[in-house]
Structure 1
């Protein structure tokens, strides 16, 4: 009893008492229990961590090692965490304005209550240098929530569960508790990136592994395992055919594969294509062998890549990089942002051991098309650590026909494919669909074909001959200088191709001004109709 005769107060919630208070400590036999609806989380600590990242972006690498988005109890905080790291992955400096812009572009700004909440987060961080301590609070409360969740499941099991399921529940709980413990175990950091090369002195020479995925008929392969590889070219030139052939090869060899379909080709189309190329039904239907993702937005795409990294398939197809960049809110013309996206989407699966094959498209401008770069930036080519192939359709794949796609090497970091190819021509992908309607299969093969030759054995530049023929058809009475300026190719080869077209009667010439010769199309030259082409 108190001095005035009234009984002491009973607390419905835990109360933090100041030091020296006369209030008695909590007594479970006397006081009522805690309200178990109160979250095991610290909103202040979560806000302070995010505020520190906005005020001091240099803390991002350090805190990335300490926390994940799942450690935040409030969804809006996880959303801000994702946005900050998405921007950081693009190489841009993080601040509240850029984070707000990113959230607007991804459609997430209202999930956090508007852009003003970012400024509230910065005000919630008293001292950015204490971010590590704030992160410890967030991490520890997340750990406690994990334990509480397990405890609640056991309580529910005791009340309503089946006794026969106790053993399974206990085993599951052990696994989850082990993950909770190891998740926050000690970490070893090597801040310099120094790699120990002392093994070189042991007498074993360094070995550069050759490509092992998607083999030609001669046994040489096109793509490197554990590396980022790429295919680019015009629409409908056979890029995805080639990458999906690599998937089928892997599945039929007992390996695993995945496809991240950002272009939304669709599951029906994808399954039908893989079956057409020779995949087996049971392999496509087995998610432990083949995984198909069709993300609708940035968060789903990030989650898909996380899942790919966890499963580490032998072959991973990402179709296409051009669609993935804006889906993640990055600028398609900003090299730093594209590099960040490539690291997020491609480098992570490659580091997990997968042979990553990206698909991309050529731009329309003549200058860009001759540069060997796909749409957006040379940053894409810079991020390729395996092979980068340019696909050119000599005859496009179609039902009932034979498609031929020339594959040229634009980049080969290790140089093993160039060595096996004797130069920049990687081979020709042949897709024989003449029996697809009756037998339900398209036979495919990759082989190096002999270059076309004239009757006297000299080189016959059939591709340039067709390009010049088409140019003269569209530009009647053009000069040789016009042709050399506007048709992509080396001058020596262009002049050789033009001479053959004139000699063989496809193009005629008449005198022009200042001793020039004007060119006129007489017959259409097409490489596919040339008897010299195998």
Structure 2
């Protein structure tokens, strides 16, 4: 090899040309959102990408991701939870109340509460590398502002924020395959608030999936049933927006889901993520209320419990709207469900007697 010849490379680097064959022949496909599913099956989180959830203090944004974590654990998938805001007792207790079992949590939840940049110390770096060699479906980073403090990042410094975004959330997404979710705050002033979280403009650049804001419709609390509006502000792959509601001109967001958080039972939290209000009822709350009453009346009038197929036959309206209304009625205790023949789910009024077997608790989506 002469002095002028470049050294041979044994493996591709980030500066090596990318093979474009799949793009050119039409076989390349954008991986669709897979996790955080609504009751109609529409998913909101992109795997292998950095997603964001932000809102005011006590808006329920962390609880929302605790619920999604519980769903992933119940499905037998592994979750990484990096917590810069709370503690293991609070987080794990909530996940238990949301339906995950101790066995599921022990087997598949990796809960981390970092106190330093993992690059700073050899032992911390080794622990970080072990995490990066693990496959996760979901990776939550709760408390971005606090994370910046731990890493020594200035929250208004675009260069430092951009570097952190590439070195932490993007690395987790690329190396573990997880749908990474950053939980962040918004500015206190609603007038000066944009579609994105508080801080440097560079926060937008490291989001490679979708970004959501959380707004309170009805407050969350012990003994209460709260509702949260989930609004989409950024959808880089573009596969979620078609399932959103009307465009809000003031901040260019769409309501893409409504989260129901039922804490009336002090030992348990019920959670359901429904389609947006104007998506399921054409923007008219009265229509949604009437649809719910029509469903209840159909069940009352029937001598036996009804499957969704039977309800769909006797109650007028869109299927998505009926599924969402049924799920809300179940979560608020106005309907109860239990397994029926051929994998169906049957519905009846609580304490209504029929010839069906005794009620068994069912957290599944009405089929």
Both proteins in one fold, TM over 0.5: yes
Greater C-alpha radius of gyration: 1
The answer to whether 1:389 aligns with 2:212 is yes
Distance in 1 between the 2:275 and 2:84 partners?
Answer: 31
Distance in 1 between the 2:287 and 2:183 partners?
Answer: 40
Match 1:453 to one of 284, 291, 302? 284
* SS of corresponding position for 1:209: coil
Match 1:326 to one of 149, 156, 175? 149
- Counterparts of 1:346-365 in structure 2, within 5 Å, are 346-352=169-175, 353-365=177-189
The answer to whether 1:399 aligns with 2:222 is yes
Distance in 2 between the 1:441 and 1:416 partners?
Answer: 33
CA apart distance, 1:450 = 2.9
Distance in 1 between the 2:142 and 2:65 partners?
Answer: 9
Gaps of 5+ in 1: 1-185, 458-534
The answer to whether 1:296 aligns with 2:115 is yes
Distance in 1 between the 2:137 and 2:97 partners?
Answer: 21
Distance in 2 between the 1:350 and 1:197 partners?
Answer: 22
* SS of corresponding position for 1:324: helix
Question: What is the match of residue 105 of structure 2?
Answer: 284
Distance in 1 between the 2:78 and 2:147 partners?
Answer: 23
Gaps of 5+ in 2: 1-8, 247-253, 289-367
Structure 2 contact 216–227 (Cα < 8 Å) conserved: yes
* SS of corresponding position for 1:278: coil
Distance in 2 between the 1:315 and 1:248 partners?
Answer: 11
Distance in 2 between the 1:314 and 1:333 partners?
Answer: 31
Evaluate the alpha carbon distance shift between residue 228 and residue 302 of structure 1 in structure 2; reply closer, same or farther with a 3 A threshold.
farther
Match 1:306 to one of 91, 111, 129? 129
Evaluate the alpha carbon distance shift between residue 302 and residue 409 of structure 1 in structure 2; reply closer, same or farther with a 3 A threshold.
farther
CA apart distance, 1:396 = 2.4
The answer to whether 1:341 aligns with 2:160 is no
Structure 1 contact 293–304 (Cα < 8 Å) conserved: no
Structure 1 contact 305–349 (Cα < 8 Å) conserved: no
Evaluate the alpha carbon distance shift between residue 226 and residue 455 of structure 1 in structure 2; reply closer, same or farther with a 3 A threshold.
closer
Evaluate the alpha carbon distance shift between residue 306 and residue 320 of structure 1 in structure 2; reply closer, same or farther with a 3 A threshold.
farther
Distance in 2 between the 1:191 and 1:456 partners?
Answer: 54
Question: What is the match of residue 92 of structure 2?
Answer: 271
Distance in 1 between the 2:244 and 2:126 partners?
Answer: 38
- Counterparts of 1:418-429 in structure 2, within 5 Å, are 418-421=241-244, 424-429=254-259
Structure 2 contact 245–277 (Cα < 8 Å) conserved: no
The answer to whether 1:244 aligns with 2:71 is no
What is the Cα-based RMSD across aligned positions, in Å? 2.3
CA apart distance, 1:269 = 0.6
CA apart distance, 1:305 = 4.2
Evaluate the alpha carbon distance shift between residue 389 and residue 266 of structure 1 in structure 2; reply closer, same or farther with a 3 A threshold.
same
Distance in 1 between the 2:129 and 2:14 partners?
Answer: 24
Distance in 2 between the 1:312 and 1:192 partners?
Answer: 26
* SS of corresponding position for 1:383: coil
Higher helix share: 1
Distance in 2 between the 1:405 and 1:254 partners?
Answer: 27
Distance in 2 between the 1:425 and 1:303 partners?
Answer: 42
CA apart distance, 1:194 = 2.1
Distance in 2 between the 1:402 and 1:199 partners?
Answer: 48
The answer to whether 1:199 aligns with 2:22 is yes
**TM-score calculated relative to the size of structure 2:** 0.67
Question: What is the match of residue 351 of structure 2?
Answer: none
Distance in 1 between the 2:27 and 2:136 partners?
Answer: 29
CA apart distance, 1:453 = 3.3
